[in-house]
Amino acid sequence: MVEHWVDRIAAGFPSREPFNLVGIRTRGEVLAERITHLLRSRGYGQIGRGVLDITLYRDDLSEIGPRPMVRPTRLDISINGKPLLLVDDVLFTGRSVRSALDALADFGRPGAIRLAVLVDRGGRELPIQPDFVGLTLTDVPRDHRVNVRLKETDGKDEISVEPRA
């Protein structure tokens, strides 16, 4: 599934032109690293890498349970002018992506921003749509969570739909 997802991403970004690939912490970052690895093996040579922590930009800080740990954002690259691919694991309401767009605006002005998500579960609360989707889920009840687990952080690759604890 990830291979097909990366196929679509590769079709959208010519391998000879430089672009930046930025993951949203935590699992978006792990996925961004995988995508980078796969694209490099397909001959992509000029991928700038960064990682974004959006905690400080969220509009729902009070609703997301235990105090979130704020972790550093690392964008040592210049994001100005070049296309930028933003990566996250699950797209739901769109609020994380909005926060990420706000954060990116504080670092510069990319030539274009595209969005890749492993899972689109619908349920948007904002006019935000993905450009590259790995898996589309429909009819996931709002009170359920879509959990993406990844080898690097969770020991195995798995997508599951579970009732919210």
Partner 1 sequence: MTVVAQPPPPAARWTRKHLLSLEDLSADEIRFILDTADSFKEVSTRSIKKVPALRGRVMVNAFFEDSTRTRTSFSLAASRLSADIIDFSEKGSSVSKGETLIDTARNIEAMGVDIIVIRHPAAGAAELLSRTVSCSVVNAGDGAHEHPTQGLLDLYTIRERFGKIAGLRVAIVGDIINSRVARSNLWGLTKLGAEVILVGPPTLVPRAFEKLGAQVVHDFDSVIGTVDVVNMLRIQFERIKSSQFPSVREFTRFFGLTSDRFLKCKPDVFVMHPGPMNRGLEISSHIADGPQSGILTQVTNGLAVRMGVLFLVTQAQQAG
Check residue 97 and report its DSSP letter.
H
**In angstroms, what is the minimal distance from the CB of 139 to partner 1?**
29
Among 12, 15, 18, 74, binds partner 1 (CB under 8 A): 74
C-beta of 63 vs 139, nearer to partner 1: 63
If one counts every other C-beta atom within 10 angstroms of the C-beta of residue 38, the result is 17
Q: Which of 82-90, 99-107, 122-130, 156-164 is the region at the interface with partner 1 (rule: CB under 8 A)?
A: 99-107
C-beta of 36 vs 96, nearer to partner 1: 36
Among 6, 9, 13, 73, binds partner 1 (CB under 8 A): 73
Could you say whether residue 56 binds partner 1 (CB under 8 A)?
Answer: yes
| Closest C-alpha to 112, from 17, 8, 4, 5 | 17
Q: Which two tokens stand for residue 95?
A: 């609020």
Distance CA 131, CA 125 (A): 17
Cis peptide before 26 (omega within 30 of 0): yes
